[in-house]
Amino acid sequence: MTLETERLILRHFVEADADHLYTFACDPEVGTPCGWPAHRSVDETVWVINNVFTSDECYAICLKEDNRAIGVIELKRPGRSDLAKGDDEGELGFWLGKPFWGRGIMPEAANEVLRHAFTDLKLKRVWAGHAVYNDKSRRVQEKCGFVYQYTVKAHRCDLTGEVRDECANLLTRESWLERNDV
């Protein structure tokens, strides 16, 4: 499925996205807060596209003007998520190439994926997490209406070995409907 917003196309990845995506994924400032090590080669990005970005609900974030992948947003379903447990739950995960930060791109992408989650997929609860120190992600989640629930102490990131406290935030279908006047 392809989703669309005013400025963005959210579409599935293809291997040809790797060259461009690598230029952002090689930055530790992008990967570390997400819990994965910076990519060391385009081949690693190809591998991730083919083996990690495989879900129907994983989208390349592209500006309409050139349709090139500049980030990722995934609505993770139970089994791929530490936070979403029930069949009617999901978890948002996302990152964006650093040159594009601060333009409201992720809130725009997230709001569209949330619309899709609550109206097309009829989910009841969407979670989102972030490291306690990740103010940028916290702000995106606040702007989309997520509400703080609890903190997981000393969460260990499998891929990086980093141990950090993680906040878990929730957006319910009712609260999304209310916020969007649906």
Residues at the interface with ligand COA (CB under 6 A): 30, 33-34, 94-96, 101-107, 130, 134-137, 139-140
Q: Pick the closer one to ligand COA by CB: 23 or 101.
A: 101
Contact (Cβ atoms closer than 8 angstroms) between residue 92 and residue 75: yes
State the minimum distance, in angstroms, from the CB of residue 32 to ligand COA: 8
Q: Pick the closer one to ligand COA by CB: 10 or 30.
A: 30
State the minimum distance, in angstroms, from the CB of residue 104 to ligand COA: 4
State the minimum distance, in angstroms, from the CB of residue 135 to ligand COA: 6
DSSP assignment string, 22-88: HHHHT-HHHHHHHTSPPP-SHHHHHHHHHHTTTSTTEEEEEETTT--EEEEEEEEPTTS-SS--STT
State the minimum distance, in angstroms, from the CB of residue 113 to ligand COA: 13
CA dist., res. 30 & res. 39, Å (int): 10
Q: Pick the closer one to ligand COA by CB: 48 or 87.
A: 48
Q: Pick the closer one to ligand COA by CB: 9 or 106.
A: 106
CA dist., res. 92 & res. 55, Å (int): 13
Contact (Cβ atoms closer than 8 angstroms) between residue 112 and residue 8: yes
For residue 97, the SS3 value is: coil
